[in-house]
Amino acid sequence: MTLVVRDDLSHRSELSKSQLTTADFCQTAAWFGIHDRRPMLPSERLTFGSAIDAACEQMVYAAARGLNPDSKAMQAALEVAARDGMDLPWDEVSAAIGGFRDNIMPTIDWTDAVVQPTVRAEIEGLGPCSGHPDIILADGTILDVKTGKQHKTPFGTELGFYTLLCEASGLAVPRVGYLTWLRFAKPFWETTIIETTDELRRYAMARALAFARARDLDAHVNEGEATPVNYTLTGGPKGPGQCATCEYSPANGGPCDIAMREARE
């Protein structure tokens, strides 16, 4: 039985969290995602994050039903690694799973929590929107599981957009937060949860509207064109090393004209 099942989003037309976060990192990559969407290139960082996400999903799913919270967690992580053809630091994977079980699970009421739900709603100004929050608790709190080398703050486009989306679907969202496995020399789980505020909603809406307007203008100026041209989402990568792992970089067979030079060589 396959545990890790994800929707095929390659032809998704609704505005999504991934489009907004991609635009935050590189507007040009977000533009290519509209016109020539390609799968992300596998990397240790991405596969590790997906493996831990899938393992935690299994633990929360089980706990929500009163079952053994980690009976299938490692199996889910192994499935993700096999899917991506990527070996992982399994000692760290085990430590992250054990840390989530011992240090995160007892601190949250998982009763009736749902994992990876598909949420769709029409948001005025943005049009049809969709998303897949990692976890929604019974009281409407939205939690996202992350891994990385930097602390995560819940105030931002990602959880703000999820708030707008879920509230537009009729769900009250009192809080949002991240459960982050910080990959430091001594890694650990960090929980950061905040109350949802009008300021969070305002900020997320402003960022989403900016992208939606650029997207709609792009569709207008390229209507009927055999080869679309980017006039509206022309910003480059947020960091100097981002092009090396981008699926749109010429170094990786992509069509991007502004990829950082070192990513081409």
Question: Is residue 264 over pLDDT 50?
Answer: no
Among 166, 196, 226, identify where a domain stops: 196
Among 168, 196, 224, identify where a domain stops: 196
Q: Which of 64, 93, 98, 65 is nearest to 81 (CA)?
A: 93
pLDDT for the residue numbered 262: 55
pLDDT for the residue numbered 97: 97
Residue 3 pLDDT level (bands cut at 50, 70, 90): low
Q: Let me know if residue 102 belongs to a domain.
A: yes
Question: Is residue 69 over pLDDT 80?
Answer: no
My answer on whether 186 and 220 are in the same domain is no
My answer on whether 170 and 112 are in the same domain is yes
Residue 4 pLDDT level (bands cut at 50, 70, 90): low
pLDDT for the residue numbered 67: 84
- Residues of 145-160 as b/e, b for ≥16 C-beta within 10 angstroms? bbbeeeebebbbbbbb
- Whole-Å CA distances, 137 to 14, 108, 144, 146, 245: 24, 9, 11, 17, 34
Q: Let me know if residue 2 belongs to a domain.
A: no
pLDDT for the residue numbered 239: 80
Rounded CA separation 194/177 (Å):
6
Number of domains in the chain: 2
Q: Let me know if residue 165 belongs to a domain.
A: yes
My answer on whether 77 and 180 are in the same domain is yes
Q: Let me know if residue 243 belongs to a domain.
A: yes
| pLDDT, tens digit, 9 for 90 and up, residues 25-59 | 999 999 999 999 999 898 999 999 999 999 999 99
Given a contact cutoff of 8 angstroms between Cβ atoms, the answer to whether 96 and 52 are in contact is: yes
| pLDDT, tens digit, 9 for 90 and up, residues 130-170 | 999 999 999 999 999 999 999 999 999 999 999 999 999 99
My answer on whether 90 and 31 are in the same domain is no
My answer on whether 32 and 90 are in the same domain is no
End-to-end CA distance of the chain: 43
My answer on whether 190 and 218 are in the same domain is no
My answer on whether 115 and 16 are in the same domain is no
Residue 66 pLDDT level (bands cut at 50, 70, 90): confident
Question: Is residue 19 over pLDDT 90?
Answer: yes
Instruction: Say which residues have a Cβ less than 8 Å from residue 11's Cβ, sequence separation at least 6.
Output: none
Range of the domain at 262: 9-36+210-265
Rounded CA separation 240/139 (Å):
41
Q: Name the pairing type of β-strands 15-16 and 127-131.
A: parallel
pLDDT for the residue numbered 29: 96
Among 144, 161, 196, identify where a domain stops: 196
Question: Is residue 173 over pLDDT 90?
Answer: yes
Token pair listed for 217: 């203008």
pLDDT for the residue numbered 240: 74
pLDDT for the residue numbered 260: 74
Residue 205 backbone dihedrals phi, psi, to 5 degrees? -65, -40
Mean pLDDT of 118-132: 95
pLDDT for the residue numbered 263: 43
pTM of the predicted model over 0.85: yes
240 against 24, higher pLDDT? 24
My answer on whether 157 and 256 are in the same domain is no
pLDDT for the residue numbered 252: 92
Question: Is residue 9 over pLDDT 80?
Answer: no
| pLDDT, tens digit, 9 for 90 and up, residues 179-219 | 999 999 999 999 999 999 999 999 999 999 999 999 999 99
Tell me the average pLDDT of the chain. 92
